[in-house]
Amino acid sequence: MNIAVLGGHYLKNYRGEHTVWLHDLPLSINIHEDNSIGALLARGCPFTPDILLFGDQSCFPMVTGLEDLDIPTVAYLIDTHLHYPWHRYFAGMFDHVFVAQHDCAVSLGAYNPACEWLPLFSRMGDIRYATTKIYDITFVGTVNPARNAARVEFLNKFAAKMPLHVFSGEYVEHYNASNIILNQSVSNDINFRVFEALASGSLLLTDNVDNGFDRLFEDGRHLVVYRKGDVDDAVEKARYYLANAAEREKIAEEGHRLVVGSHTLDIRIQQILAKMTAISSRYTCEPGRKNGKKCAAGRTFLAIAKGLYRLEALHGTGQHGRQAVWFLGVAHDALMTSLQSGMADEGIIRNLALLYFLERKMDQAALHVKMALLSNPDDVEMNLLAAEIEHDRGDRARSRIFFTLARELLQQMVRNPVNSLDIDDLADSLFQCGRRLSLL
C-alpha cells in the first residue's frame, strides 16, 4: 500500500511493507499558487498514493481539495478539545477519523459516524533508564499565564507548600530523575504528559478527568489521582508517596508496564495501519459520500473564517483578517459547488446565511436566516446571527429580541444536555455576540 502522510510525523521512522511519503502541513498559503492537495502530491509525492493520512499538528488546514481525492482518507485528530468549532466539520471530510480524546470522539460521531477513539501515546516509547533520583516532584510543560492562567496558579500554590521542580522543554532526563511527576491537564484532556510520565517509570500524580480515563488507567494501581484543581489534595498525596517508597515504586512499575505494552507510538502506528489497510481494501468512491465531504469542507472553512474574523475584531493586526478572507473564499467555492450539484444537504441554508453575513451581503444573509428560522425557530446559532444582522442594520430593539431568545434557548439546552461540546461552543458564541453588541 502506498501511503501519503500529511503532517503528524506518525510514520516518520516506519520500516515495513508499505511505501510512505511524508510532508509537513503547510503553515501558510500563497494566494497566487495552487494550494490544493492534488498540486502538493504532484509536486512532491514520488508515487500515486492508495490512501492519505492527515496527522493533526494543531494548526489550520492550509490546503484545499482533501474532500475531492478519489482515494480513501483518514485523519488522526489530537487537539479537537482546542479546535472543536471547526474540527467537528473537518471530521466529515474523511472516510475514517481517529480522535485522541474520548469525549471529542463521541461528539464528532454526530458529524461523521466513522469516528474512533484512539488515545495519545508515549512518543518515544519506553524512556526509562537507570539514574539517580534527584528531584522529589517535577512538572515539565508550558507555564505561561497568558496561555493557561489556571495551571500557573495551581503550580504556584503547590510550590508554596512543598518543593516543586518546574521545567519546560526536553522531558526524558527530568522524568527519570524524579520520584513523582506532577500533571495538570487542560480542557479535560488526557495529554501526552500522562503517557510519557508513565513510560519513564516514575510515579505519575495527575488530576482526575473523565473522558475515558478510567477505561485506560486505575487509580492506585497505575498512577495516583488528585481532585482537579485541589492543591491540598495533590500535596497530601505527594507527601504520602514520597514517604512510602515501596508503594510508590510498585505503582510506578505497573504504570510503566501498561504504557510500554499498550500505549506507544509504534503500537498506535500498527493500529492506524491496520484500519487503513481494511479501509483501502473495500473502498469505493461514492458520489453521495463525495458530496457530503464537499459540504463538510465548506462548513470547515466557514467556521475557521468566522473564528479568524472574531480574532481580527479583538486584535486588529490585519493578519487574522487576511487569513479569514482566504478561508472564506475557499468556503464560498465549496458551498457553491455543493449547491450547484443539486445534492446540498439540509444545513446549506444555515451555512449560506453565515457565508453571506461574513461577506457583508446583509440582505442575502437576512433572507437565509429567515428561511433557517422558519424551519427551526429554536436554532441558537441562527438567532444569534439574526441578532448580529439586525444590529448591523441599526435595529437594536430587534437585535436584543433575537439575542434574548438565543440565551433562553441555550439555557434550555444546558438543562437537557445532549452534546456538551456543542453547548460549550454555543455558550462562547453567545458571550462573544453579547459583548460585541453590548447586550451583556
User: Which cell numbers hold the place of 403?
Assistant: 439575542
Q: Distance from CA of residue 207 to its chain's centroid?
A: 20
Domain 135-262 fold is Rossmann fold (3.40.50)
Q: The domain 287-436: what is its CATH number?
A: 1.25.40.10
Task: Report, as ranges of residue numbers, the positions in the chain whose pLDDT lies below 70.
Answer: none
CB 20 within 8 A of CB 296: no
Q: Report the pLDDT value the prediction gives residue 173, as an integer from 0 to 100.
A: 96
Quick one: which H or E segment has residue 6? strand 2-6
Burial state string for 345-373 with b = 16 or more CB within 10 A and e = fewer than 16: eeebbbbbbbbbbbbeeeeebbebbeebb
287-436 matches 135-262 in CATH topology: no
Domain ranges for the chain, please list them.
Answer: 2-120+266-281, 135-262, 287-436
Question: Which CA distances in Å does 401 have to 41, 52, 184, 349, 398?
Answer: 51, 47, 42, 22, 5
Homologous superfamily, domain 2-120+266-281: Glycogen Phosphorylase B; (3.40.50.2000)
CA distance 427 to 395: 24
Q: Report the pLDDT value the prediction gives residue 378, as an integer from 0 to 100.
A: 96
Q: Report the pLDDT value the prediction gives residue 268, as an integer from 0 to 100.
A: 96
Give the predicted TM-score (pTM) of the model: 0.93
pLDDT per position as a tens digit, 390-438 = 999 999 999 999 999 999 999 999 988 778 899 999 999 999 999 999 9
User: Using alpha carbons only, how large is the chain's radius of gyration in Å?
Assistant: 24
Q: Report the pLDDT value the prediction gives residue 28, as an integer from 0 to 100.
A: 86
